[in-house]
Amino acid sequence: MIETDRLKIYPASENQMRSHISAETDEEMKKAYTEMLEGCLTHPDQWNWYAMWMIELKDGTHIGDLCFKGLEPDGSAEIGYGILETYQENGYATEAVKAAVEWAFQDPKVTAIEAETEPDNKASQRVLEKCGFVPNGKTGKEGPRFSLKMNISHGTANNFMNISVL
């Protein structure tokens, strides 16, 4: 579990993911969550790199989720995230992404984190920029791609907030 000043972020269990999938009404999201679960079941030793991570307020209120889409052999991982509309525009996405990226860079195999966002999703692009991501000139299925590379000389990706990993 990752804790920030306002959030608890943790990988979902198989039962939590199955429950989330069955409750999801958006077919595209249902497909994405199903792929996450399949990745977890196929790679149980890398559960955290495939699981849906729950984002909750400290009081346990579920406000969104994030995921990594596996850890590639070159040390890169893609992150995806979303905050429920009711909780948007409070800085929760930025806080969660920063914490997740800091967690990921604690793994010595991780060299870069990537993300992509729809071209007109300016809020998501701002989250990535606040977290230190920069456009890498590539375009994925969803739109422009952004990268954050490990700074080898300093051993960090950026100056992140203090988080505790439990």
Q: Is residue 153 scored above 50 in pLDDT? A: no
pLDDT of residue 164: 40
Q: How confident is the model at residue 151 (pLDDT cuts 50, 70, 90)?
A: low
What CATH number corresponds to the domain at position 131?
3.40.630.30
Domain with 145, as residue range(s), is: 2-165
Residue 166 — pLDDT band, cuts 50, 70, 90?
very low
Give the pLDDT band of residue 141 (cuts 50, 70, 90): confident
Tens-digit pLDDT profile for residues 44-82: 999 999 999 999 999 999 999 999 999 999 999 999 999
| pLDDT band at residue 140 using 50, 70 and 90 as cut-offs | confident
CB-based contacts of 75, cutoff 8 Å, min separation 6: 109, 110, 111, 112
- What is the pLDDT at residue 137? 83
Structurally, the chain folds into a number of domains equal to 1
Mean pLDDT of 84-113: 95
User: Percentage of the chain with pLDDT > 70?
Assistant: 90
* CB distance 34 to 67 below 8 Å: no
